[in-house]
Every structure is written in C-alpha cells, then in structure tokens.
C-alpha cells in the first residue's frame, strides 16, 4: 500500500468536503441537487478533532440502483477525510488477502477513497446548492 498516495488522496478529499459543506462545524446538514437526485451531507457525530459525516445520494430515477451511502471521518488536525463505511459494508481494512470470504479487493479501502474523490469532485462540478440567506439578502440590496 502506498501510504503517501493514500494520505494525499485523503487530504484532497478533506478539501473537497469543506468546499461542499463549509459550515459543517455549526450546521448538521447540507442538501443540494445533483442532476435528478438529491445529495444530503449529514453530521452524525462531532468531537474536538474529528467529525463523522454521512453522505447520501437519494436517486429518484433508477429504482434498481441502491442509493449511495458513505460514512466518512474528517480528521481536522491532519486535514484528512477517510471512508469508514461504504454502503452497508461496515468498516474496511487497509489490505486484504485475496481471495477472501467477502471477496473484497486487496486494495478495497484505497478504491473506496478514490471513488469518494471522484464523487465529491462530481458534486463540486455539477451540484446545484441552494443559495444561503446572506447571498439572497445581498442580491436583493443591489
């Protein structure tokens, strides 16, 4: 496992999450549209150095596809974001022998964090966030 690459990925994911959910320290949820679906970022737990956030993608179109649900932990002192649970898989180890009973890939944790990076970047590029009250007030004053 390339720890340097994994740390860089987790740091970049932290920056992406902070851009999507800048008020995570005082707000428990953030919601926005992403195409035909709704995305919900929800704080489940806060502590001094970490925040546990659940990312939901609630699709309306494809009923055969399970809604996306990823739990992440933000480490504020390190500026890193790590996947701690993906869909219903629970926690994932850093490395697996292959084959294994659950048929996890050898680098399952790394793949999940890379998927998170792609998904967060997609949200940043294509998500339509509702305007905050302060932005609406400034526009009406102009």
Give the pLDDT score at 137: 41
Which of 113, 98, 97, 88 lies closest to 13, judged by CA? Answer: 113
* Dist. CA 13–CA 21, nearest whole Å: 12
Which of 12, 39, 44, 8 lies closest to 28, judged by CA? Answer: 44
**Which residues constitute the domain of residue 68?**
3-141
Give the pLDDT score at 131: 43
Could you read off the pLDDT of 7-41 as tens digits, one per residue?
A: 999 999 999 999 999 999 999 999 988 887 889 99
* Sites in the chain below the pLDDT cut of 50: 131-142
Which of 57, 29, 37 lies closest to 116, judged by CA? Answer: 57
Give the pLDDT score at 90: 67
Whether the CA torsion 50, 82, 87, 108 is positive or negative: it is: negative
Task: Count up the domains in the chain and report the number.
Answer: 1
Give the pLDDT score at 109: 82
Give the pLDDT score at 134: 41
* 96: Cβ contacts below 8 Å, ≥ 6 apart: 104, 105, 106, 108
Give the pLDDT score at 24: 92
């Amino acid at each position: 496992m390339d720890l340097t690459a994994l740390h860089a990925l987790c740091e970049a994911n932290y920056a992406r999450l902070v851009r999507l959910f800048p008020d995570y320290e005082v707000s428990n949820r953030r919601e926005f549209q992403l195409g035909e679906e709704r995305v919900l970022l929800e704080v489940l737990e806060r502590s001094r150095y970490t925040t546990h956030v659940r990312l939901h993608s609630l699709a309306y179109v494809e009923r055969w596809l399970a809604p996306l649900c990823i739990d992440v932990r933000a480490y504020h002192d390190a500026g890193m974001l790590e996947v701690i649970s993906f869909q219903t898989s629970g926690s994932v180890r850093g490395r697996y022998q292959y084959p294994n009973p659950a048929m996890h890939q050898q680098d399952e944790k790394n793949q999940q964090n890379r998927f998170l990076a792609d998904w967060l970047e997609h949200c940043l590029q294509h998500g339509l966030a509702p305007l905050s009250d302060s932005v609406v007030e400034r526009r009406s004053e102009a």
